Chains A and B, each alone.
Chain A
Amino acid sequence: MEYELAIVGAGPAGLSASIEAAKAGVKVAVIDENAKPGGQLFKQIHKFFGSKEHRAGVRGIDIGAQLLNEAKDSGVDILLNTTVWGIFDNVLAVHSSNKIQRLEAQRILIATGASENTLAFPGWTLPGVLGAGAAQTMVNLHRVAIGDRVLMVGSGNVGLIVSYQLMQAGAEVVAVVEFLPQIGGYWVHASKITRLGIPILTSHTIKEVTGDGKVEVATVGKVDSNYQIVSGTERNFDVDAVCIAVGLSPAAELAWMCGCEFMYIPELGGHVPVYNEDMETTVPGVYVAGDVAGVEEAATAMIDGAIAGLAAAESLGYLDHNEYEDLKRGKRVSREVFELSRFRFRRMAKERFANKEGRLKQWSKT
């Protein structure tokens, strides 16, 4: 198999990139290990922020469907049930239908997303303790209830949104606990659940989960300024599920394997590949976009993906430089607005990468 651009991951970043590149004339393959494309979009049943150009007010599931149609209409090949287990220079090693194959590509975009972090506490391995994203998958995608009474650990956007969605699916969320003194996610998401009676217990953490072969009781307690549980403040919740929403880490294995240079930026989820304005890493011809380049949100993943797709198209000669710069400028303006909010991590990353920018520029031009 041979393509001009191979994109690993059919989530918002990968699909957006594929659309832009294919529209420019690039022969593109999007490869995804799952049976269905869309990444995590098909479990995002809420309306997205942003403005019209970001598809604001549209639910993630519908954005997923839109992207998929656009990709198909643009002539993108989407290879499903296909795992990329290695990248060896310009060869992607793929596994599908129990066969190993080579897929050669002139440019590679790694858009593999992120995986959920977890939290270890006594009882965290009991059946019924699971990732908040996992709960969202089970409930919204597979339509099965993961529990009747759920405790949510973590008040970032994932914790808040999933709490709301668990309620929409008929579960009862007994509380959201947050070990910091302030709520992590957007306050409107918080207000959406507090007015339905879910208490958000800031400065609280989970102490343990007990039960006979399954989750039965979750104990939470208030923490002091050293984040230690204040004895006597413990209280028990009778629950049958505990969801962990304590952040995500970039799924950057393939970028490591390519030899990309990394930087540790905790606010972006940990080790992230260094990239330039064109989303190109320190390895020429290898691009990153979406959560793998720093955990943010689907809206920003789509913009970064689009930029990466355009950049790959330009470097392959399908766009002339000025045309590309114009298109990129447009995308960047639409990106900038996400860098002004409280979650302006990408701007911070850009600042941190700045001292490498000169070098990165050179790489991208070779």
Chain B
Amino acid sequence: MVENLASSGVISKEELSRLPGVPSQERLKKGPVAVIECAEQIPCNPCETACPKGAIQVGEDINSLPVLDEAKCTGCGLCIPACPGLAIFVVDVTFSETEALLQIPHEFLPLPQKGGIVNCLDREGKVVSLGKIIKVVNPKSYDRTPVVTVAIPKEFAQDIRAITQGEENGNDSYLRKER
């Protein structure tokens, strides 16, 4: 049952909890790990191919949902730009006392700069906090899907999934700030 996702495009916590690509609370507490928010049987397996540790399994029927082997996953993030659906994130709740690190794909201009402050949006696109850019990675192998690492308040680690750059940064006319 995926009512919320199917009717609004926003996956609910409850729907998320049933996905084989979403790590357990215990695993999350141990450090960076991939969160695969892929809830639909799509003929697709680049995530499996991309993982150097063999931590993601889709299997012979590539329509199967990706299964995360959370023991093998190191949270390297190579699966993030590989996912055509941009549905994989890496969450590290051990970053600091108050902050979590979030790695997200971000295919928009202008690319945020290290140290920059950005608005952080939840799955509905609501700004829930500010975040600080820790790292922006965009090698050729990522094929124009830059991966942005942003430090966010820990309590929103399972909510924030996108960033926009605020007006104060003098850009970003293309993203809605609120609904």
Contacts and interface: CB of A to CB of B under 8 A. Distances in A.
Interface of A: 46-52, 54, 56-59, 62, 155, 167-172, 174, 181-183, 186-200, 202-203, 299, 337-338, 340-342
B123 interface: yes
Nearest to A182: B6
A196 B176 contact: yes
B108 A168 contact: yes
Nearest to B87: A188
B90 to A, nearest CB: 16
Interface in B43-99: 43-46, 49-50, 61-63, 82-87
A202 B4 CA distance: 11
12 contacts: A49-B44, A51-B49, A56-B44, A59-B144, A170-B174, A188-B42, A188-B83, A192-B85, A197-B179, A340-B41, A340-B43, A341-B43
Interface stretch (B7-15, B22-30, B129-137, B146-154): B7-15
A197 B177 contact: yes
B173 interface: yes
Q: Interface on chain B toward A: helix, strand, loop, or mixed SS?
A: loop
B43 A338 contact: yes
Given A52-B49, A188-B38, A341-B41, A47 B164 contact: no
Scoring B40, B164, B177 by chain A CB atoms within 10 A of each residue's CB, the highest score goes to B40
Given A56-B45, A57-B84, 18 more contacts: A47-B46, A47-B143, A50-B43, A57-B82, A59-B143, A167-B174, A168-B108, A172-B173, A172-B174, A172-B175, A186-B40, A187-B6, A188-B40, A191-B10, A192-B85, A196-B176, A197-B164, A337-B62
Nearest to A176: B9
A149 to B, nearest CB: 10
Contacts of B145: 47
A191 B11 contact: yes
Contact of A337 (B10, B43, B121): B43
Contacts of A47: 46, 84, 143, 145
Given A191-B123, A194-B125, A51 B9 contact: no
Nearest to B63: A340
B162 interface: yes
B44 A51 contact: yes
User: What 10 A-B pairs have minimum CB-CB distances, sorted nearest first?
Assistant: A197-B125, A188-B85, A190-B9, A197-B176, A47-B84, A49-B44, A194-B9, A57-B46, A195-B162, A337-B43
Nearest to A54: B43
Nearest to B84: A47
Interface in B112-148: 121-126, 143-145
Given A49-B84, A167-B108, A193 B9 contact: yes
B107 interface: yes
Nearest to B7: A202
A108 B62 CA distance: 33
B124 A50 contact: no
A47 B179 CA distance: 28
A59 B82 CA distance: 11
A327 B109 CA distance: 44
B179 to A, nearest CB: 6
A229 B46 CA distance: 42
A115 B149 CA distance: 41
A62 B84 CA distance: 14
B85 A195 contact: no
Contacts of B144: 59
Nearest to A169: B174
A51 B45 contact: yes
Contacts of B122: 195
A196 B82 CA distance: 20
B168 interface: no
B157 interface: no
Nearest to A335: B43
B51 to A, nearest CB: 13
B61 A188 contact: no
Contacts of A338: 43
B67 to A, nearest CB: 16
B125 A48 contact: no
B126 A197 contact: yes
Contacts of B11: 187, 191
A175 to B, nearest CB: 9
Contact of B44 (A50, A191, A195): A50
Nearest to A59: B143
B64 to A, nearest CB: 9
B119 to A, nearest CB: 10
Nearest to A167: B174
A32 to B, nearest CB: 27
Nearest to A199: B179
B178 A200 contact: no
Contacts of B125: 194-199
